[in-house]
Amino acid sequence: MIASISLLATLALSYVTLPDNQPVAPQGVLFRQDVSLDLANRLASSAVEICHAQGRSAVVAVVDRSGNLVALQRDDVVGPHNTAAAQRKAYTALSTKTPTRIIAERARNDPASENLNTLDELLLLGGGVPLIVNGQIIGALGVAGAGGAEADEGCALASINLHLPQD
């Protein structure tokens, strides 16, 4: 019992807070920022609203920093394949730490990158964008069905610009 209390006291003392309220963990423990359900829902909702303002319909998926689906919103008239596409675009942007439009361009123009098309998990179409806060990727947003890669990415970027600080 005394050893447990001593261990807890040691851990409590080793946990300090920096001046900007950034936690410092005991050695070997990582603290990582991640997209919350609230933020994911706000991003998805505003991306759909932005698409609507342009006369478009879409599916929006938000994944966390581990690639898990956190939020999904699908417009009433969007084809069912777009749901999987939005999630795969978000996953691709997260996994590659790059907007999917750029990855698609690299795969088309760079022989060393063209094999990215062979990875089933990745979808090399524009519309997936990493979510970056304080230099850390906290998740990604994917949009599909808005009428092409450029429109998909435009809705995604506009939503991100509304809800995340720009680094």
Q: What is the pLDDT of residues 61-81, one digit of tens each?
A: 999 999 999 999 999 999 999
| Cβ neighbours of residue 8 closer than 8 Å, sequence gap 6 or more | none
* Residue 165 binned pLDDT confidence (cut-offs 50, 70, 90): confident
DSSP strands (E only) in 46-161: 59-64, 69-74, 128-133, 136-144
Least confident of 47-51, 129-133, 162-166: 162-166
pLDDT for 138:
97
User: Helix 149-163 crosses helix 100-109 at what angle (to 10 degrees)?
Assistant: 140
Q: What is the pLDDT of residues 14-69, one digit of tens each?
A: 444 444 565 677 888 888 899 999 999 999 999 999 999 999 999 999 999 999 99
pLDDT for 21:
60
* Percent residues over pLDDT 70 in the chain: 85
